[in-house]
């Protein structure tokens, strides 16, 4: 079949076959055609609907006079009784296929008990599937049975704990062996899926998970397990999950540092199994981890023993339990927009072309820039993502998800994710990168920032906040508001209001401030300190430090959800490297000695965090409340006043004023408002009692706001 020089056949729809015939074969004139089922020898007539001449070949479009069952094998016979194997074409990407094979069960993968293990794999186009079991040095091949909805199933009645396994799948005459996409345990470097006994795993204590009254109560701190621990002299398990569980009171590093800083949520750079680091030799290479290999298996390079499938599971669970015990929510950075390598990932072995998007020329789309885009708008792709999110919440106690390149994902999927998480735990945070990505999905379906109104419960990284406060990310010479460009003052007012409008009836970027993730730096691109070396290199270190404190203060005090990259509070540098995703530890590791030398800056940011947490007026989740209580004035082109009035019901303070002074040459004008003379490029926070003329100072290390406060930068 499909002998070279003859024709090729493709099933593109349930009632349509495409035939390509080279003119070297009877001039391409080989109609009429018949379709033969290779299982039961049933013959179906094929009708030529269209014929096109492409020079060296003819293209036939045929309609099918009968029903074709996907998963069975067929051949197309021509008028000369020669044949061609009927390959699957576009059929798997049709709506009819999607609906016909949508499976709603929650039992895909391997379900273990001591007496049996049931395996289920969704592979509707496959003509044969075998389970490959590895028992030490013995390999067992066991045929799986096809069930409804494209499910292949096999139950093995013995205790398989510790067995390795893969699937052998035949599609379009091609046999491929692959790991289980629903696998939850693995050998090193994702070579085999592993069957584990859940009873041998550390238990997640769901009762101690921190709860949020509203999303804006969160203060998010982004860190990498490896970066945060690899260079810490007090940590024994450097670069590992367990490193973040270690507590040495007074060290002011690691977990002790996080406790003192006061943030509420820790966003971990990818902790699912990723490519780019050899798990057997993790010190040899570095990678942030945005290269998915196994979505439901923890990364092995962060465990103490990547060869032990239980180690990575138990150590990550211990880390999450420890963070919960210390009052932190845990946010997982997830990458459901692409896989590391399309050709080797299980998806195409299961159902060729189904899981990915294709452009209008039939080529794989690449809106991610990573070689492929996951087609989350298809039912079983969406189900996979939902199942994975549910798994991490239930099995690891995850408190939030940061979606990488969320603009690749569709609106309906994101809303279903929120609905699912709302049912599992109402405190779960959902947010992501709402960039407009060039993927073949209609604009009105993209989970991009411009569709935020369609996803009212989903947060978006506010790149407008980033670029207007700091300067455009991709124009390294441009200065934003905090860096001395007062032309951004009007935009800055909107950003401080949570990007949801300043006055009644007005909207801006978002309908609610809870949709705005306010940030000026993250793992991507330059740190703010390195960026200022390029844009503000003519200024002294002292001035630039104050600018960074100011920018960070704006993140903390703006309405919305603050987001801080680890080290931002002490001027973290990556030695000028803009994209450090695969740079060595000497570039990416947190420099704890540098942190010690900037303790006054850390203390100031810690104080700002305390203020935000102490008074609910900084944390409105409703845009109507922002418009009711917030007023922003510009007294001078470089002096902005942020006032919260009549807010005693949200905290003990009635009236709060925040002053941003953006240039050192601006004289202090007490006729405008009392600004301490030491202030430049930091927020001055003034809290007033009912006596509008009373301004008092208290110590920065206050536990909460009792009366009134003035915070100023150190001299």
Q: Which of 94, 42, 82, 38 is nearest to 66 (CA)?
A: 42
Alpha helices in 351-443 (DSSP H): 379-396, 411-424
Structure token digits, residue 275: 């490519």
Determine the longest span between alpha carbons in the chain, in angstroms. 100
Chain CA centroid to CA 640, Å: 35
Cα separation, 702 vs 433, whole angstroms = 35
433 is catalytic: yes
Structure token digits, residue 255: 């977990």
User: 577 burial class (0-12, 13-18, 19+ CB within 10 angstroms)?
Assistant: middle
Determine contact, residues 659/687, Cβ cutoff 8 Å. Answer: no
Determine contact, residues 686/656, Cβ cutoff 8 Å. Answer: yes
Beta strands in 591-697 (DSSP E): 630-636, 639-645, 655-661, 683-688
Number of Cα atoms under 13 Å in the Cβ half of residue 568: 31
Residue 213 DSSP class: S
SS (H, E, C) 233-284: CCCCCCCCHHHHHCCCCCCCCHHHHHHHHCCCEEEECCCEEECCCCCCCHHH
246 is catalytic: no
Cα-Cα-Cα-Cα dihedral sign, residues 332, 336, 339, 340: negative
Q: Which of 487, 488, 510 is nearest to 498 (CA)?
A: 510
Residue 55 DSSP class: S
Cα separation, 699 vs 676, whole angstroms = 15
Quickly count helices (H) and strands (E) in the chain: 15, 31
CA angle 418, 419, 422 (to 5 degrees): 85
Structure token digits, residue 407: 């603009």
- Among candidate residues 232, 246, 404, 654, the one labeled active-site is 404
Residue 668 DSSP class: P
- Among candidate residues 273, 275, 299, 433, the one labeled active-site is 433
Write down how long the chain is: 715
Cα separation, 276 vs 178, whole angstroms = 19
What phi, psi does 97 have (nearest 5°)?
A: -60, -45
Report, as residue numbers or ranges, the catalytic residues. 404, 433
């Amino acid at each position: 079949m499909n002998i070279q020089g003859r024709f090729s056949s493709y099933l593109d729809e349930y009632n349509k076959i495409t035939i390509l015939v080279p003119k070297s074969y009877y001039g391409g004139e080989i109609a009429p055609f018949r379709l033969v089922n290779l299982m039961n020898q049933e013959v179906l007539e094929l009708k030529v609907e269209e014929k096109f001449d492409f020079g060296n070949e003819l293209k036939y479009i045929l309609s099918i006079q009968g029903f074709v069952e996907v998963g069975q094998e067929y051949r197309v016979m021509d008028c000369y009784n020669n044949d061609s194997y009927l390959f699957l074409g576009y059929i798997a990407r049709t709506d009819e296929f999607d609906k016909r094979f949508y499976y709603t069960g929650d039992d895909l993968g391997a379900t273990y008990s001591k007496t049996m293990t049931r395996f289920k794999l969704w592979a509707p186009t496959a003509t044969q599937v075998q389970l490959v079991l590895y028992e030490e040095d013995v390999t067992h091949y066991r045929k799986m049975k096809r069930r409804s909805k494209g499910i292949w199933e096999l139950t093995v009645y013995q205790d398989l704990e510790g067995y390795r396994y893969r699937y052998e799948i035949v599609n379009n005459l091609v046999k491929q062996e692959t790991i289980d996409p629903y696998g939850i345990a693995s050998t090193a470097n994702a070579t085999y899926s592993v069957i584990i006994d859940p009873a041998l795993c550390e238990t997640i204590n769901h009762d101690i998970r921190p709860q949020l009254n509203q999303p804006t109560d969160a203060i998010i701190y982004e860190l990498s397990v490896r970066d945060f621990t690899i260079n810490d002299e007090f940590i024994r398990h450097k670069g590992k999950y367990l490193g973040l569980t270690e507590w040495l009171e007074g060290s002011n590093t690691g977990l002790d540092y996080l406790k003192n800083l006061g943030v509420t949520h820790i966003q971990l750079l990818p902790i699912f199994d990723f490519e780019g680091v050899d798990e057997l030799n993790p010190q040899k290479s570095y990678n942030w981890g945005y290269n998915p290999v196994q979505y439901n298996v923890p990364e092995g390079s962060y465990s103490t023993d990547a060869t032990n499938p239980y180690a990575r599971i138990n150590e990550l669970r211990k880390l999450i339990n420890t963070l919960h015990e210390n009052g932190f929510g845990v946010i997982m950075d997830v990458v459901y927009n692409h896989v590391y390598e399309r050709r080797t990932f299980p998806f195409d072995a299961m159902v060729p072309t189904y899981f990915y998007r294709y452009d209008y020329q039939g080529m794989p789309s690449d809106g991610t820039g990573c070689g492929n885009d996951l087609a989350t708008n298809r039912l079983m792709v969406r189900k996979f993502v939902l199942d994975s999110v549910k798994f991490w919440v239930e099995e690891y106690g995850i408190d939030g998800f940061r979606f990488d390149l969320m603009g690749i994902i569709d609106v309906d999927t994101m809303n279903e994710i929120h609905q699912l998480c709302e049912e599992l735990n109402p405190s779960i945070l959902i947010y992501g990168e709402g960039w407009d990505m060039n993927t073949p999905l209609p604009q009105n379906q993209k989970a991009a920032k411009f569709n935020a109104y369609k996803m009212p419960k989903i947060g978006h990284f506010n790149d407008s906040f980033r670029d207007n406060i700091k300067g455009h990310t991709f124009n390294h010479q441009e200065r934003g508001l905090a860096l001395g460009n007062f032309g951004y003052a009007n935009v800055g007012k909107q950003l401080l209001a949570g990007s949801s409008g300043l006055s009644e009836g007005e909207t801006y970027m978002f309908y609610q401030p809870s949709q705005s993730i306010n940030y000026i730096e993250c793992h991507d691109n330059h740190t703010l300190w390195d960026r200022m070396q390029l844009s503000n290199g003519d200024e002294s270190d002292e001035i630039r430090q104050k600018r960074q404190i100011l920018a960070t203060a704006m993140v903390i005090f703006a309405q919305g959800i603050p987001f801080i990259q680890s080290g931002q509070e002490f001027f973290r540098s990556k030695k000028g490297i803009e994209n450090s995703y695969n740079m060595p530890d000497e570039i990416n590791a947190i420099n704890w000695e540098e942190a010690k030398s900037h303790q006054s800056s850390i203390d100031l940011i810690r104080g700002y965090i305390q203020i935000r947490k102490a008074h609910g007026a900084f944390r409105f989740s409703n845009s109507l409340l922002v418009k009711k209580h917030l007023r922003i004035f510009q007294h001078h082109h470089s002096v902005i006043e942020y006032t919260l009035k009549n807010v005693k019901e949200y905290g003990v303070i009635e009236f709060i004023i925040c002053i941003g002074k953006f240039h050192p040459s601006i004289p202090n004008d007490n006729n405008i408002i009392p600004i301490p003379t030491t202030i430049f490029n930091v927020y001055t926070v003034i809290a007033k009692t009912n006596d509008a003329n009373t301004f008092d100072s208290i110590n920065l290390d206050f536990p909460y706001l009792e009366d009134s406060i003035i915070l100023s930068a150190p001299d």
